[in-house]
Structure 1
Amino acid sequence: MTNRRQFISFAALGLASLPLPSLAAALIESTGDQAGQATVLGRMPADLNGIFYRNGPGRFELGGERYRHWFDGDGFAQRWQISDGKVSHTGRFVATQKFEEESKAGRFLYSAFGTHIGRKGAKNNDAMNTANTNLLPFNGGVYALWEGGSATELDPQTLATRGIKTWRADLKAMPFSAHPKADPDGGLWNFGTMPGADRLMIYRLNAKGEVTRTAMIPVADLNMVHDFVVSGRHLVFLLAPYDMQPAPDRSLADSMHWAGARRPLRAVVISKDTLALRQVFELPARSVFHLGNAYEDGACTRLDAVLHDGDALRTTSLPARDSLRPIADYRSNTVQITLDYASGQAREARLFGVSEFPRVAPQVVSARHRKLLVLGASGKELILDSVNLIDTDSGKADSYAFGSGWEVEEHVLVPRRGARSETDGYVVGVAQHTHHRQTVLTVFDAHNIKAGPRALARLPYRAPLCFHGNFLAT
């Protein structure tokens, strides 16, 4: 029987382990559409069939001008098709209004999250929409999502852009976050933020994509909120301590000033029943991008989050090409937070060290979970190169490190049909070798991460880095 640890040493790929710069430092950009058949190494599971939709920033430079921040690039959607042991890949730019206008002009026209460009004013949020953060299959459609504007609908097969999705006429161009959460009935919960306006927008969509409930909730000192969690009875948001100081010549990122010495990290809890603010908890000041899952535990709500020491927004600034820098200058920890409504206190327990991109199995979203998937950094440099499935009860992790020269993108849990546990299935993701310019799809057995990938699918070209995505079983 082939030893998977030897297999993932990439003798089959002909790839050496070398100390190399991180993807955050040498971002992979696209020069156009991509399409190709992957070379499968190992054997894909016979019962793993579906589409892994991914999205991320694909264009950072135009007309000799370069963006300043990792979050600024125009969206490049990707589609990995797994069928009968074979893997194919398609990548395509999302043809937003911004992308089309700027491509025609040959230069950037609109300001981005971290780069102020004052050549053209925006009539609404969607004029600046980069559609670069997540790719969501929902109700037969596929949607490229961004922080500050509408979803953009794509063709599920070709990824051709169909246009802006307006869920309801009165919600046109409203912020629709990149991290919606599924509900057990097949619907979605989502939110939008209006930094500087101190208003949090809540959406509830049914399985047909119809907006059934909305609320506009006042929240003091509201700034950028990237993610949230949904439990049986609550929606929970973590608000990092930033002060908004906007100015005509500042980007949104430049308008956000770290106030951690003066203000705490806040957990804002919204009741599902009333869509009203229930309670606010305070924790030590840290910044946050991603949360895992939440569930009710008696009179408490428990949730998982990755918390960064200090101002993590500054560590995601886009460096010069080929400069050497790890993925973050501030350490992070995955923690489980307990919100105790009776005492008004929030407690936290550390689950894992340097990490990001927490995910749970889709069948346990908003319910009690015992497994949390995160990426980790196995070396001294804060570079994400490992896949880790944490037991949230014991704190033990089933881990595999790809090693030097590799960087790992977000991975997701894919259950088998009729799965009886959170590890009855697979872990699917993407990894990049930064020196040999290799992009591979990775497949692990969820019950045995430490054995290494049971299969890899190597592209004949290098695909751009993605932020987030979702697996659609077929």
Structure 2
Amino acid sequence: MTVDKGIAPDQDRTARVYAALPEEHHYTIEQVDGALPKDLTGTLYRIGPGRHQVGKSLLHNIFDGDGMVSQFVLDGSSVRYRNRYVRTRHFEHGQRSDRIRYRGVGTQIPGGMLANVGRLPANVANTNIVNYDGGLLALWEMGNPHRIDPDSLETLGRFDFDGKLGFLGAFSAHPKWDPATGDMYNFGLDLLPTPRIRTYRVDRSGRLHTLATVPMLDLVWNHDFALTRRYLVFVLDPLLPDLTKIALASHSFIDSLRFDRRKGTRFLLVPKAGGRPRIIEHEALLHFHLTNAYDDGNDVVVELVRFDTRWSEVRRATNSVNSISADGPRFPDSRLMRYRITAGGTVIEQELADRSVEFPQYDWRLSTRRHRFSYLAGKGTRAAAVYDSIIKVDNETCATTLCEFPGGSVGEPLFVPRSRDAGEDDGWLLVLNHVLAEHRSQLVVLDARDVGRGPVATAWLEHHIPWGFHGTFSRRIARLEE
């Protein structure tokens, strides 16, 4: 299915993908094409960098923009929209000053090494938003979460699980839930005082418990992990921090990472019930996001999106914000892959889809178990610069189904089951699409069973939403008091 809306491909303006939205809004969406499903009720939350600047000073890396939460309240007949910035120290400073005071992941403080040495990147709370303890947590993996009110989106402050997050307070942007127990699992990377991966379990009462701490003198940068019934599964690519560059602050954090193919990728299996972690060596891979993982007898199976480009090209793509290039951003090429880790330590690789994709999603109720369908943002053709399609992959047959949005920029598709006991794939996909020529965004509802049919409903915002990262859905309908 191709969704055109009369917009020709040559009208694309990919440079608008990262355009800032400085204003905060709260209104009922008036223009809705199609019919909103009456049984699709609840609240969608999305997060991403809403602006890449401090005062009038421009930032250029996607990881350095101030976190902005978008809220879509669906009651079966209407959609209400609200957005609000997370009130981090970085955001508050940018409201009153044109001087860059805080170092970023890809941005240095003006003044050279002396201005940056000893300073860690600022927590901009822009990467993920998750449901927690009746509220929300805005996540940024190199520091503490920020608590967010689920109705007003007010920032309630930083949150460190009663001081249990350790020296740096790192808490990954991709926690996972075990549907059998309701427990949340996560990890943090510590460079100081010694390089290590710290793993956590948060029980249903909200208490954080430290699981294994895995020392790694050659600790790599890692963004995501997956969960099986027995293991936390990490795929550790050889993205190594150059400690000299970091210590001297001669380069930004992301420019201090080097991809060392000779070291290969390590699959790290951390037992949930305790015990010695297991490490399996493999040839070097490059990825950001995992889909799901599961145990298959004594084997462990994990699925991920593997980049088909060099690290230098991936890094360049992250530094394309506020670029003077007329071409705008270009997202890396990639594929959906499956890796089977056998009991004997062999790794078997299988391609699931040869289309360029990212932001993999599935029915979260099947976490830790084998799922059949994956939903991803991707490119309708390899020539596309940004993700302009929603791609559904049948992991059993490797068949793909597309819904294309020419002249658009789509984000991560979130699956919402039609009901609590609905089967896999029986539900809706919620997608944000930025119509670049009109510089407006849409909330698009797709029937997950028939993605190729195109939108069931499209709610047109009065403005655009900058390209973002991740989100979550709650069956709770947020209160709409002003």
- TM-score, normalising length from structure 2? 0.90
What's the CA shift for 1:48?
A: 0.2
Match of 1:232, SS?
Answer: coil
What's the CA shift for 1:238?
A: 1.4
What's the CA shift for 1:121?
A: 6.9
2:204 to 196, 202, 207: 207
1:419 to 421, 430, 452: 421
Residues 182/450 of structure 1: CA separation in 2 closer, same or farther (3 Å cut):
same
Q: What does residue 216 of structure 1 align with?
A: 213
- Paired residues for 1:1-40 under 5 Å: 8-10=3-5, 15-22=7-14, 26-38=17-29, 39-40=31-32
What's the CA shift for 1:62?
A: 2.3
In 2: Cα distance, 1:60 partner to 1:276 partner: 43
Q: What does residue 77 of structure 1 align with?
A: 69
Q: Does 1:393 align with 2:390?
A: no
Q: What does residue 235 of structure 1 align with?
A: 232
What's the CA shift for 1:423?
A: 0.8
Q: Check the 8 A contact 1:47/1:416 in 2, yes or no.
A: yes
In 1: Cα distance, 2:276 partner to 2:80 partner: 46
Residues 423/44 of structure 1: CA separation in 2 closer, same or farther (3 Å cut):
same
In 2: Cα distance, 1:33 partner to 1:443 partner: 24
In 1: Cα distance, 2:202 partner to 2:116 partner: 32
Q: Check the 8 A contact 2:44/2:473 in 1, yes or no.
A: yes
What's the CA shift for 1:64?
A: 3.4
Q: What does residue 187 of structure 1 align with?
A: 183
Identity of aligned residues (%): 30
Residues 36/162 of structure 1: CA separation in 2 closer, same or farther (3 Å cut):
same
Q: Check the 8 A contact 1:243/1:257 in 2, yes or no.
A: yes
1:402 to 400, 405, 409: 405
Q: Check the 8 A contact 2:227/2:233 in 1, yes or no.
A: yes
Tell which deviates more after alignment, 207-216 or 391-400: 207-216
Q: Check the 8 A contact 1:326/1:381 in 2, yes or no.
A: no
Q: Does 1:225 align with 2:216?
A: no
What's the CA shift for 1:210?
A: 1.1
1:174 to 156, 169, 174: 169
Match of 2:304, SS?
Answer: strand
1:92 to 84, 90, 110: 84
RMSD: 2.1
Tell which deviates more after alignment, 99-108 or 88-97: 99-108
Match of 1:429, SS?
Answer: strand
- Paired residues for 1:134-153 under 5 Å: 134-153=128-147
Deviations 1:51-78 (A, max 9, x none): 1111101121224322231111111111
Q: What does residue 264 of structure 2 align with?
A: 264
In 1: Cα distance, 2:101 partner to 2:307 partner: 33
- Paired residues for 1:106-185 under 5 Å: 106-117=98-109, 128-171=122-165, 173-184=168-179, 185=181
What's the CA shift for 1:236?
A: 1.1
Match of 2:12, SS?
Answer: coil
- Paired residues for 1:310-329 under 5 Å: 310-311=310-311, 312-319=314-321, 320-321=323-324, 323-328=326-331
Deviations 1:345-385 (A, max 9, x none): 11111111211000110110111111111122112224211
Q: Check the 8 A contact 1:110/1:122 in 2, yes or no.
A: no
Q: Check the 8 A contact 1:59/1:73 in 2, yes or no.
A: yes
Q: Check the 8 A contact 1:110/1:118 in 2, yes or no.
A: no
1:466 to 448, 461, 468: 468
Q: Does 1:105 align with 2:97?
A: yes
Q: Check the 8 A contact 2:108/2:116 in 1, yes or no.
A: no
Q: Does 1:46 align with 2:38?
A: yes
Deviations 1:290-349 (A, max 9, x none): 000000111111111001132123322124156314532x4211101111121x111111
Q: Check the 8 A contact 2:361/2:374 in 1, yes or no.
A: yes
In 1: Cα distance, 2:222 partner to 2:363 partner: 23
Q: What does residue 290 of structure 1 align with?
A: 289
What amino acid is the match of 1:354?
S
| Structure 1 unmatched runs, 5+ | none
Match of 2:18, SS?
Answer: coil
What's the CA shift for 1:18?
A: 3.5
Q: Check the 8 A contact 1:237/1:268 in 2, yes or no.
A: yes
- Paired residues for 1:352-367 under 5 Å: 352=353, 353-367=355-369
Residues 67/53 of structure 1: CA separation in 2 closer, same or farther (3 Å cut):
same
What amino acid is the match of 2:19?
I
What's the CA shift for 1:19?
A: 4.5
Give the count of matched residue pairs: 459
What amino acid is the match of 1:217?
V
In 2: Cα distance, 1:449 partner to 1:338 partner: 28
In 2: Cα distance, 1:220 partner to 1:21 partner: 44
Residues 301/70 of structure 1: CA separation in 2 closer, same or farther (3 Å cut):
same
In 2: Cα distance, 1:164 partner to 1:276 partner: 33
What amino acid is the match of 2:270?
I
What's the CA shift for 1:195?
A: 4.4
Q: Check the 8 A contact 1:186/1:207 in 2, yes or no.
A: yes
What amino acid is the match of 1:33?
E
In 1: Cα distance, 2:441 partner to 2:370 partner: 34
What's the CA shift for 1:26?
A: 4.2
Residues 122/97 of structure 1: CA separation in 2 closer, same or farther (3 Å cut):
farther
Q: Check the 8 A contact 1:53/1:471 in 2, yes or no.
A: yes
Q: What does residue 277 of structure 2 align with?
A: 277
Q: Check the 8 A contact 2:211/2:272 in 1, yes or no.
A: no
What amino acid is the match of 1:390?
V
In 2: Cα distance, 1:326 partner to 1:241 partner: 25
- TM-score, normalising length from structure 1? 0.91
What amino acid is the match of 2:469?
F
Tell which deviates more after alignment, 251-260 or 218-227: 218-227
Q: Check the 8 A contact 1:21/1:323 in 2, yes or no.
A: no
Deviations 1:124-170 (A, max 9, x none): 86x82100001111220111100100110011111111100121224
